[in-house]
Copies of this chain bind each other. A is one copy, B any other.
Amino acid sequence: MRASRYLLPVLKESPQEASIASHQLMLRSGMIRQLASGIYNWLPLGKRVLDNIANIVKEEMDSADAQEILMPTMQPAKLWEESGRGNYGKETLNAVDRHKNALIYGPTNEEVVTDLFRNTVRSYKELPLNLYHVQWKFRDEIRPRFGVMRGREFLMKDAYSFDTDEEAARESYDNMYRAYLRIFRRLGLTAIPFTAKTGQIGGNMSHEFQVVASTGESEIFYDPAFEKELRKKEFNIEKLRSLYSAADEMHDPDKAPEECKSARGIEVGHIFYLGTKYSQPMGANIQHSDGSVAPVHMGCYGIGISRLIGAIIESSHDKDGIIWPESVTPFHVGLINIRPGHEQCDKACEDIYANLQAAGISTLYDDRNESAGAKFAAMALIGLPWQLAIGPRGIGSGLVELKNRKSGQKEELSIESAMTRILS
C-alpha cells in the first residue's frame, strides 16, 4: 500500500480525550476515530489489525471443532423474559420497532443461541456442538473510557457449547480453556487464567484471562510460574489450575505462595460453565440414547476482539509508539523513500516494493513528499516490525537501512541482505 493513497491521519500530539497509552496511540496512529462516546470508526490501519485478530481467533476456534455462525445484533426482548434474565440492566440498549415489538441490541447471546439450538437440534447424536460467532455487541456503559478498551459498541467472539451431561460439558469447557491459551499466545500476550465470579452470565464455574498491564482495571495476584507454563508447547491444565492466581477481593494472602506477584490486569477473555441455566427455562432439550429427554448442558466463552487491540498495545509500546507482534501487525514492512523524486531512490523503492509484494510480505510504502523526520516518526508510531529506509547517500553504494522496531537495532545492508533478513 502506498502511503500517498492511504487514509492514515497520524497525529503528532495526543488528543485530550485519551488518558492511557493504547487509546492515545490508536488515535495518533490513525487507527480509529470516535463517532460518539464509546463508539468508534475503524480507519484502514485499525481495520487491518481488527481483521488479523479476528482471523487468529477464528482459526483457533475452528481447530477446536467450533462452528462459525452469525447471529444478528438486534434481539427480541421477549427471549430475555423467557430465560429469566429480564435484560442486561442499565447497560441494555433498547429499541421499539414500528410494530411496537421490543428489541435489544445484543450485549451477549445466550438467549438467542439457546433459541436457535432448541429449534434445530433434537438428539444426543448431534452433540457435542460448539457454535461461535464474531459480532458487534452493545453495552451502554455509564462512563465509556480508554478508547476501545471500554467502548459501548465492541466486537466480541462468543462461543456456546452444548453437551449431553455435565461431564461432557466440562470437557468442552477445558477444550475452550486450551483454545484460549493458544489464542493469547499467538497474539503475543501472556494471559493468566483466574477463577472468576459468574456475574450476570450465571453458571457455577468460570475463568477469566488477564493480561498484565500497568493500566489494567483489576489488581491481580499470581504465581510467576504461570509465565513459563503459558509458553510451553502443550498446556498442562492440571498444573495451571494448581497454580495460585486471584483477582481483587478474591485474593487471600494466606493461600498465596511466597513468590506471588502483584500487578494490574486487563481482562481479555472469560469462560463460563452454565449447566442448564438457560436450557432449563427455555426448554432446550435433547433426547438421550435411552429415550429420555432433558435440558442440554451449556458453556459460554467470550473474547473481546476490539478490546484485545488495546490490551496488546498496553503491553507492547514505547515512547515512540506501538510495537506490533508479527501475528497482528497491519503491515510487516514499512518502506521509507527518504527522497521521493530522486531517481535512484524511487527506482530502488519501486523494485523493493514489487519484490516484497511478490513474496507476499505486506508492505506500507511511504512515498509521500514529507520530511525524512516526519516519515521516521510516523513509522515508529504505527509500529511495524521492520522499517526499511532508502536514502540518496546509501543507495549510491547499494546500501539501505533496516531497523527492527522491537529491538531498535539498525543495520546498513545491501538490498539483498535486507530482503533475506525480512524474509527469514
Tell me how far the C-beta of A66 lies from the nearest C-beta in chain B, rounded to whole angstroms: 10
A52 on the B face (CB < 8 A): no
Tell me how far the C-beta of A163 lies from the nearest C-beta in chain B, rounded to whole angstroms: 14
Residues from 109 to 159 in A contacting B, C-beta threshold 8 Å? 112, 115-116, 119-121, 126, 129, 131, 136, 138, 140, 142, 152-153
Stretch from A72-80, A167-175, A289-297, A406-414 at the B interface: A72-80
Which B residues are CB-close (under 8 A) to A97? 93, 140, 152
18 residue pairs of the A-B complex, CB under 8 angstroms, read: A7-B129, A33-B116, A33-B120, A35-B76, A35-B112, A35-B115, A36-B74, A41-B69, A41-B72, A41-B112, A43-B69, A44-B69, A72-B153, A73-B136, A93-B103, A97-B152, A105-B105, A136-B136
Identical chains bound together, number: 2
Check A70 against B93 for contact (C-beta < 8 Å): no
Check B94 against A70 for contact (C-beta < 8 Å): no
A262 on the B face (CB < 8 A): no
A50 on the B face (CB < 8 A): yes
Closest B residue, CB atoms, query A138: B74
Mask, A59-74, CB within 8 Å of B = 1, is 0000001011111111
Check B42 against A7 for contact (C-beta < 8 Å): no
Check B70 against A41 for contact (C-beta < 8 Å): yes
Q: Please, how many angstroms separate the alpha-carbon atoms of A165 and B153 in the complex?
A: 35
In addition to A42-B70, A72-B136, 18 A-B residue pairs with Cβ atoms within 8 Å of each other are A7-B131, A30-B120, A35-B71, A35-B72, A35-B116, A37-B101, A39-B72, A41-B69, A41-B72, A42-B71, A43-B69, A47-B68, A73-B136, A93-B95, A93-B103, A94-B95, A97-B140, A98-B142
